[in-house]
Amino acid sequence: MISLLLIFTFINLAFGIISFDVSNSSNCLFNIINNEERELKIENILKDPLIYKDYPSIKHLPSAEERSIKDGEIPDYVINYSPLVYLYSEEKYLPYGIKEYVTNFYATFNNGSNITGFESISIQNLTNIPKNEETFLTSNTDFDSDPEWITGVKNKPNLINGEIENAPATLIIVDKGNGWVDAFWFYFYSFNLGPFVMGQGPYGNHVGDWEHSLVRYYKGEPVIVWMSAHGGGGAFYYHNLEKYKLDSRHPIIFSARGTHANYPSVGQHPHDLPYGILSDFTDRGPLWNPNQNYLGYTYDGNFVYPIENTNVKHIGREIEYDNWLSFKGHWGDKQLPYNDPRQTYSIVGGYKYINGPTGPLCKNLMRLKPCERAKWWNFWQGCNVRENIKWGVGIESEGYNCGNLFINVKTNWLKKLLQRLTWGGGLCFLIDLIYG
């Protein structure tokens, strides 16, 4: 620890601010902004003209004068308003530390050939894996037998402070100009257990699972929270989200069983297919507080700057981990071939095992809209910041989706009847689309 601190101080003194060049990695997937103006007027995402009309626009690659935070600086408000995550009560695949995780792999090209020199891997040399081709971390041992490095069975959050001692979250802060700041919290799990469809499954399992949430601040005040889930995730006004009881500044997120998709409420969350065929489930299991243990960085589109002024328990760890964020490949095995005995295929659900995901810098951190995959030209698939929380359905639900429509119906029995008539029906779905 002492030596790390010394090295840290030395590097600081000798070279000034430390940075990692990730410019060759930031063009993966969605990091390209389609909007030619490279700025987003606030009325395009926030609907309330009275409250938000004077807010300035959000910028892609703001100039020095337009920025409000320094490289490597994590402002206090990012920690003070950080999200807490309820894991599923019987979650079998818990968060995992990336440094330990990568030691279970060797690196391969897309054609399955080993990459010479990477028969074993460390977090520090992840950055040297070739970036000009599609690459995969491939397991040394059978992940299908649920070894400890897949389940993370010991990584339950501490009951007192919510810390997971051996699984740091990853915090990446991006200045979006004019007082806007995005704080991305990344949650890493070693395994994604996909959903079951009509008793069959699971489908879409993969080794390595990067989920994330975004808290978007204006002048130090949280305004929007976006959370990753299937099909673009969900964006919400911060003020409408559930808050942590012991410190009501922290919004609460629920991580779904197996898939770790993130939701603002408890219950069953149908997605992608009608009639709840495909659903995620959330509940109030162990509460994880990622701000107790995290790797922190700022990012400007080309360079990543490790934090310098927070996370006192782990000073220098970002330096020790080196430029791992520049790794462009997949964080888990390639989709198993059809003839592998572990692989199965069905018309309903597709393959049982699919490709491992790419890492944090491939998640469109330079985005203007809060959604990862907003198609800004498409009105219906646009990034709707929801005024109302979408409640889960089913017996564990703690809320009611169609309630927003009938909130003004004063006669109780009439309200009940209307709610009953629309329960779980297509009407609720439509109302939710328009009203949400």
Residues that bind ligand NAG (CB under 6 A): 21, 24, 106, 109, 111, 113-114, 117-122, 125, 128, 133
Residue 77 or 106 with smaller CB distance to ligand NAG? 106
Residue 142 or 398 with smaller CB distance to ligand NAG? 142
Residue 118 or 294 with smaller CB distance to ligand NAG? 118
Least distance to ligand NAG, CB of residue 300, Å? 15
Kindly report the backbone phi and psi dihedral angles of residue 232, in degrees, each rounded to the nearest multiple of 5, phi listed first: 95, -15
What's 96's DSSP letter? -
DSSP for 290-325, written as a single string: GGGSEEEEEE-SSEEEE-SSS-GGGTTHHHHH-SGG
* Residue located via tokens 């996909």: 194
Give the amino acid at 99.
Answer: K
Least distance to ligand NAG, CB of residue 106, Å? 4
Least distance to ligand NAG, CB of residue 218, Å? 33
Residue 26 or 401 with smaller CB distance to ligand NAG? 26
Give the Cα separation of 212 and 226 in Å (integer). 9
Least distance to ligand NAG, CB of residue 128, Å? 5
Residue 128 or 240 with smaller CB distance to ligand NAG? 128
Kindly report the backbone phi and psi dihedral angles of residue 162, in degrees, each rounded to the nearest multiple of 5, phi listed first: 75, 5
Residue 99 or 269 with smaller CB distance to ligand NAG? 99
Contacts of 236 (CB under 8 A, 6+ apart): 224, 225, 226, 227, 264, 385, 386, 389
Q: Is residue 184 a contact partner of residue 216, using CB atoms and an 8 Å limit?
A: no
Residue 117 or 337 with smaller CB distance to ligand NAG? 117
Least distance to ligand NAG, CB of residue 90, Å? 34
Least distance to ligand NAG, CB of residue 102, Å? 9
202 preceded by a cis bond (ω within 30 of 0): yes
Residue 117 or 350 with smaller CB distance to ligand NAG? 117
Among candidate residues 147, 183, 152, 179, the one with its CA nearest the CA of residue 166: 152
Work out the number of other CB atoms within 10 angstroms of the CB of residue 116: 7
Least distance to ligand NAG, CB of residue 105, Å? 9
Least distance to ligand NAG, CB of residue 108, Å? 7
Rounded to the nearest 5 degrees, what angle is found at the Cα of 183, between the Cα atoms of 178 and 188?
A: 160
* Residue located via tokens 């360079």: 303
Residue 127 or 404 with smaller CB distance to ligand NAG? 127
CA 333 to chain centre: 20
Task: Tell me the chain's radius of gyration from C-alpha atoms.
Answer: 22
Least distance to ligand NAG, CB of residue 322, Å? 11
Q: Is residue 254 a contact partner of residue 266, using CB atoms and an 8 Å limit?
A: yes
Give the Cα separation of 146 and 144 in Å (integer). 5
Give the Cα separation of 139 and 41 in Å (integer). 45
Question: Is the C-alpha dihedral spanning 417, 420, 425, 430 positive or negative?
Answer: positive
